[in-house]
C-alpha cells in the first residue's frame, strides 16, 4: 500500500502535447477514478504511472519514491488491461503464476498464492482452463487474480469493464469495489463511464483535453461542479446547461425561456445549469411543451421546450401527457448552478 | 378478383418451367456440371502427370522407345547407385541446413521489422526483392558471384588484402554444396521473414505490456510470449519451406547442374538429368517417385505440428 503523487506530469507524443501538467495526490488505500471523454489523456496518465509510457516532464512518486526512471516491474504495481491481456497459451493457473515464475518463486509458494487468489475471486474450478474457454466476466477475474498474487502497492485498472455487457458490468463494478475494500490497496481506475466513476470512487479526477477539470469526492463533484465541463459530464441524465444572459428580472435563455434566478446572483452569468432531477412540477411553474416522454418506471424523463429552449426533466411523478401537451415546471432555486462566460462556476 | 388473377398468373409460371430449367434444378446434374471444370483441370494437369510418372518409374522407357513393365528393377538399380545415394544425402542436408538458416535469419529479420523503424514499409518492400526476382535470374547472379575468375566476393577479399587467390566456390564438392545452400537461404529468407512478420503482428501489444509488468526480460518475453504465440504460423511456414526446399531444382541446376562430379545433385536435378538429357525416362521417374516418402514425411510433420494446440481450441465466448 502506498500513496501516489503526480506532480506537474507532462506527456508529449512527438511535438503534440497530450498532458499539460497534471497534479494528483492519491492517499494510501484510496480508490481514485480518472474519468473523462476519449482522448482526454486519462489512459496515458495511467500508463505513465505504470511505466509503459515515459514521462516527458514533471514527476510521479509511488510510496514517496520518485519512479520516473524506474522500470515497470520494479514499481510494485499491478495492472488490469482493457482487453485483459491474458496469455492465451497459458492456463488460468499459469497466467496467475507467471510473474512468480519469472521471479523464480518456489513451487509451493506459487500454488499457495494462486489458490488464495482463486478463492477470493471464485476461480477455483477454472484453474486448468485456457482463457478461450472462459466467459468475459471470468477472464476479467483472472486478470484481477494475476494482479492480486503480486501483492502490489498500487492496482491500476484501464477501463476494465468496457468489454462486458451491461448487467455483468454492474456486477463486476461492485466486485471490484468490494475486493479493493477488502485488500485496502491503493487503486487507480480509468473509465469513460461517469456512473462507474460515481459508484466506485473515493475520489474522482475529471480530465479533459490533457488537463484536470476537477478532483474531489463523487458527491462534491455532483453538488458543486467547478465548471460547465464537469457539470455536463457528471450526472445522468446530463445537466441542462442553457446559455443566455440576465435580463427582465430573470435569466433570458437562448430560445426565449425566462428562468428564475436564486437571490444575490452575480450579473455576469452566461450559462444557467439545472439538473433534470432538480426541475419540479409546480402549479405556479413555467409552461413547458412536451417533446418526448420516457417513462423508466422509477422516474419519468421528459424532453421539453420552454418557448424554444430545450430542457430535460426527470420527475418522480408519472407523466401521462402526450407530446405537444404542456406541463408546468420550475427549477429548485437552491440547486441551480450558474457559470460565467469562461465556463467557471460563479 | 385481382387476387385471383394474380394467383392464376403465378400458377401458370410455375406449371411451365422449361426442360433446361428443370435440368438445372436437378441437384445431381448441377453437382456434376459445377465440378466438371475443376475435376477436368485437376485430372489433366495433376493426376495424369503424377500417374504417368509413377507408372514410368516401373518401366524401362527411354526417349523414343516405349517401355515395358519391369517391376521394381529401377529401384533395385538405384539402391546400388552411389550417385543416387549422394543425391539423397545432399537433398536432406541441403533442406536441413537451408531451413535452419532461413528460419534463424528470417525470424531475426521479422523481429527487427516488427520494431518501430523509420521507413518501415520501404524496408519491407526491399526485403521481399530476393523472392520476387525469378529464380533463374538470381541463380545467374549467384553464378557470377561464385565465378572462379570474376567473383565479386573474391575480388573484394583480394582488394582488401585478405586473400591472395580467388575463392573456390563451386569447383570442389563441399564448397559447392555450401555455396548453393547460401544461395537458397538468401532466396528463402523473404518468404519466412514476411510470413513470420504477419504472425508477429497478430500478437497483441498488451501481452508484452502485461509481461513487462510481470517482470519479464526481453529474452523471457520472446521465450514465453512471442515464440509460443508464433508457433502455429511457424509450423505452417516451416512445412511449406521444407517442401519447397526439398523439391528445389532451378537454383542448383542453373548454378552447378549437379556438379562438380555429381556432388551437388538434389533428387530433383538427378531425376531430370537421368530422365531428360540422359533419356532414361523410367529411371528418372523412379528417382522422382523416391522423393514421395520424404514429402509424405514432411506433410505428416505438418499434420502433427499444425494440429491445433489445446489453447487454441474451445469456443470463443466473447
pLDDT at residue B306, rounded to an integer: 65
CB contact under 8 A, A132 and B212: no
- Which of B206, B209, B215 is nearest residue A103 as measured by Cβ atoms? B215
Is B215 an interface residue toward A (CB < 8 Å)? Answer: yes
CATH number of this structure's domain B73-308: 1.10.3720.10
3-state secondary structure B16-42: CCCHHHHHHHCHHHHHHHHHHHHHHHH
Domain ranges within chain A, ordered by starting residue = 4-231, 238-340
Task: Write down the pLDDT at residue B299.
Answer: 82
Please write the tens of the pLDDT for every residue from B25-71: 888 899 999 999 999 999 999 999 999 989 988 988 888 888 888 88
Which of A214, A141, A201, A146 is closest to A171 using CA atoms?
Answer: A141
Structure confidence at residue A206 (pLDDT)? 94
Q: Which residue has the cell 507524443?
A: A13
A97-122: pLDDT as tens digits: 999 999 888 999 999 999 999 988 88
Contact status of B116 with chain A (Cβ, < 8 Å): no
B38, three cell numbers: 475443376
Q: In chain B, which stretches have pLDDT less than 50?
A: 1-2, 4-6, 314-318
Rounded to two decimals, the ipTM of the complex is: 0.82
User: Which of B204, B208, B311, B313 to mutate: most A Cβ within 10 Å?
Assistant: B311
Predicted pLDDT of residue B317: 38
Q: What is the average per-residue pLDDT within A151-155?
A: 91
Q: How confident is the model at residue A264 (pLDDT cuts 50, 70, 90)?
A: confident
- Please check whether residue B211 touches A, CB under 8 A: yes
The per-residue pLDDT for B315 is: 45
Contact B204 A83 (CB under 8 A): yes
In chain A, what residues touch B318 (CB-CB under 8 Å)? Answer: 136, 163
Q: Is B169 helix (H, G, I), strand (E, B) or coil?
A: coil
Residue A85 and residue B317: Cβ atoms within 8 Å?
A: no
Contact A81 B206 (CB under 8 A): yes
* CATH architecture for the domain at A4-231: 3-Layer(aba) Sandwich (3.40)
Three cell numbers written together for B62: 527411354
CA of B200 vs chain A CAs: smallest distance (Å): 15
- Taking only the tens place, the pLDDT of each residue in A30-88 is 999 999 998 898 999 999 999 998 899 899 999 889 998 999 888 889 999 988 899 99
Q: If you count them, how many residues does chain A have?
A: 346
- Whether the full predicted model's pTM is greater than 0.90, yes or no, is no
Per CATH, the number for A238-340 is 2.40.50.140
pLDDT, tens only, A296-332: 889 999 999 998 999 999 999 888 888 889 999 999 9
CA distance B318 to chain A (A): 6
Q: Which residue of A has its CA nearest to B223?
A: A102
Do A330 and A284 contact (CB within 8 A), yes or no? Answer: yes
- A178 CB burial (10 A radius; 0-12, 13-18, 19+): exposed
Contact B267, B91 (CB under 8 A): yes
Please tell me if residue B115 touches chain A, with a CB cutoff of 8 Å: no
The answer to whether residues B44 and B252 touch, using CB atoms and an 8 Å cutoff, is no
Partners of residue B215 in chain A, C-beta under 8 Å: 73, 99, 102-103
The pLDDT, as a whole number, for residue B314 is 47
What pLDDT was estimated at residue B143? Answer: 85
Amino acid at each position: 500500500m502506498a500513496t501516489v503523487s503526480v506532480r506537474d506530469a507532462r506527456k508529449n507524443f512527438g511535438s503534440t502535447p497530450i498532458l499539460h501538467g497534471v497534479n494528483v495526490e492519491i492517499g494510501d488505500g484510496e480508490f481514485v477514478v480518472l474519468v473523462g471523454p476519449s482522448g482526454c489523456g486519462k489512459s496515458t496518465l495511467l500508463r505513465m504511472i505504470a511505466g509503459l509510457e515515459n514521462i516527458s516532464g514533471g514527476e510521479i512518486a509511488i510510496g514517496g519514491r520518485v519512479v520516473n526512471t524506474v522500470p515497470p516491474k520494479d514499481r510494485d504495481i499491478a495492472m488490469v488491461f482493457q482487453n485483459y491481456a491474458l496469455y492465451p497459451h497459458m492456463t488460468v493457473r499459469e497466467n496467475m503464476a507467471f510473474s512468480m515464475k519469472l521471479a523464480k518463486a518456489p513451487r509451493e509458494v506459487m500454488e499457495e498464492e494462486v489458490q488464495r487468489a482463486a478463492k477470493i475471486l471464485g476461480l477455483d474450478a477454472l484453474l486448468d482452463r485456457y482463457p478461450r474457454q472462459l466467459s468475459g466476466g471470468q477472464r476479467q477475474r483472472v486478470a484481477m487474480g494475476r494482479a492480486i498474487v503480486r501483492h502490489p502497492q498500487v492496482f491500476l485498472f484501464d477501463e476494465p469493464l468496457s468489454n462486458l455487457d451491461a448487467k455483468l458490468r454492474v456486477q463486476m463494478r461492485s466486485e471490484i469495489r468490494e475486493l479493493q475494500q477488502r485488500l485496502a490497496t491503493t487503486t487507480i481506475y480509468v473509465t469513460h463511464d461517469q456512473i462507474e466513476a460515481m459508484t466506485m470512487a473515493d475520489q474522482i479526477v475529471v480530465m479533459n483535453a490533457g488537463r484536470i477539470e476537477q478532483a474531489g469526492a463523487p458527491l462534491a463533484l455532483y453538488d458543486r461542479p467547478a465548471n460547465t465541463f464537469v457539470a455536463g459530464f457528471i450526472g445522468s441524465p446530463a445537466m441542462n446547461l442553457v446559455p443566455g444572459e440576465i435580463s427582465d428580472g430573470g435569466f433570458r435563455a437562448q430560445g426565449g425561456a425566462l428562468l428564475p434566478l436564486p437571490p444575490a446572483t452575480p450579473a455576469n452569468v452566461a450559462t444557467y445549469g439545472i439538473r433534470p432531477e432538480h426541475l419540479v412540477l409546480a402549479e405556479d411553474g413555467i409552461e413547458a411543451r412536451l417533446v418526448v416522454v420516457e417513462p423508466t418506471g422509477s422516474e419519468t424523463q421528459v424532453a421539453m421546450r420552454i418557448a424554444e429552449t430545450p430542457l430535460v426533466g426527470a420527475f418522480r411523478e408519472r407523466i401521462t401527457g402526450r407530446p405537444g401537451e404542456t406541463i408546468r415546471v420550475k427549477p429548485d432555486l437552491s440547486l441551480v448552478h450558474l457559470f460565467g462566460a469562461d465556463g467557471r462556476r460563479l | 378478383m385481382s387476387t385471383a388473377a394474380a394467383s392464376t398468373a403465378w400458377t401458370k409460371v410455375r406449371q411451365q418451367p422449361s426442360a433446361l430449367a428443370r435440368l438445372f434444378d436437378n441437384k445431381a446434374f448441377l453437382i456434376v456440371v459445377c465440378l466438371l471444370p475443376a475435376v477436368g483441370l485437376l485430372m489433366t494437369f495433376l493426376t495424369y502427370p503424377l500417374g504417368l510418372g509413377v507408372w514410368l518409374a516401373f518401366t524401362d522407357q527411354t526417349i523414343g522407345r516405349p517401355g515395358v513393365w519391369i517391376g521394381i528393377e529401377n529401384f533395385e538399380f538405384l539402391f546400388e547407385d552411389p550417385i543416387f545415394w549422394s543425391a539423397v544425402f545432399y537433398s536432406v542436408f541441403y533442406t536441413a541446413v537451408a531451413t535452419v538458416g532461413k528460419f534463424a535469419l528470417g525470424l531475426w529479420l521479422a523481429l527487427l521489422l516488427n520494431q518501430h523503424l523509420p521507413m518501415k514499409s520501404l524496408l519491407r518492400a526491399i526485403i521481399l526483392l530476393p523472392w520476387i526476382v525469378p529464380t533463374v535470374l538470381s541463380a545467374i547472379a549467384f553464378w557470377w558471384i561464385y565465378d572462379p575468375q570474376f567473383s565479386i566476393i573474391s575480388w573484394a577479399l583480394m582488394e582488401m588484402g585478405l586473400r591472395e587467390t580467388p575463392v573456390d566456390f563451386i569447383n570442389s564438392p563441399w564448397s559447392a554444396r555450401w555455396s548453393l545452400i547460401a544461395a537458397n537461404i538468401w532466396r528463402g529468407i523473404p518468404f519466412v521473414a514476411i510470413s513470420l512478420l504477419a504472425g508477429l503482428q497478430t500478437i497483441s501489444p498488451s501481452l508484452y505490456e502485461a509481461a513487462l509488468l510481470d517482470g519479464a526480460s526481453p529474452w523471457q518475453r520472446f521465450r514465453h510470449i512471442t515464440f509460443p504465440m508464433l508457433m502455429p504460423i511457424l509450423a505452417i511456414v516451416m512445412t511449406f519451406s521444407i517442401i519447397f526446399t526439398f523439391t528445389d531444382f532451378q537454383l542448383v541446376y542453373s548454378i552447378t547442374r549437379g556438379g562438380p562430379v555429381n556432388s551437388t545433385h538434389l533428387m530433383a536435378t538427378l531425376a531430370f538429368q537421368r530422365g531428360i538429357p540422359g533419356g532414361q525416362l523410367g529411371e528418372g521417374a523412379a528417382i522422382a517417385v523416391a522423393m514421395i516418402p520424404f514429402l509424405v514425411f514432411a506433410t505428416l510433420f505438418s499434420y502433427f505440428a499444425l494440429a491445433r494446440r489445446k489453447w487454441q481450441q474451445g469456443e470463443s465466448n466473447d
